Each structure stands twice: as structure tokens, then as C-alpha cells.
Amino acid sequence: MMNAIGFALTLPSIWITSLLWNENSVWVVLWLLPGPVIGFWVLQGLRKTEFTQ
């Protein structure tokens, strides 16, 4: 299921990026940048969390 969600998010991102790249290359990068930054921030928070069983 997670693979399908990732695939579903990746295809539109590639499509949108390729359509808009020639006109607004810097803005396309800035528009897509928050996703990986937020993901990294969340994963860093999970590293600090102690998991008890």
C-alpha cells in the first residue's frame, strides 16, 4: 500500500515538474522542496522518540 501511495505521488510530481520546468525552473524547485524537508524533519523526530514494548 505504501509503495502505491509513493508511486501515486511521484508520477504527478514528475509530470508537473516537466511541464513547468522551462518556464519557472526556480519556482518549481521551491514548490517541491517542502515535501522532502518536512519528511526529513518528521523522521528526525522519530529517531529521538523512545519506543517501549
Amino acid in position 5: I
Q: Higher pLDDT residue, 43 or 48?
A: 43
- pLDDT, residue 53, reads 58
Q: Higher pLDDT residue, 14 or 52?
A: 14
Q: What residues does each domain of the chain span?
A: 2-48
Q: Are 20 and 28 in contact (CB under 8 A)?
A: yes
Q: What is the pLDDT of residues 1-40, one digit of tens each?
A: 778 988 998 898 888 888 888 888 788 888 888 888 998 9
- pLDDT, residue 51, reads 63
Distance of alpha carbon 48 from alpha carbon 25, whole angstroms? 36
Q: At a CB cut-off of 8 Å and minimum separation 6, what does 13 contact?
A: 32
- pLDDT, residue 37, reads 92
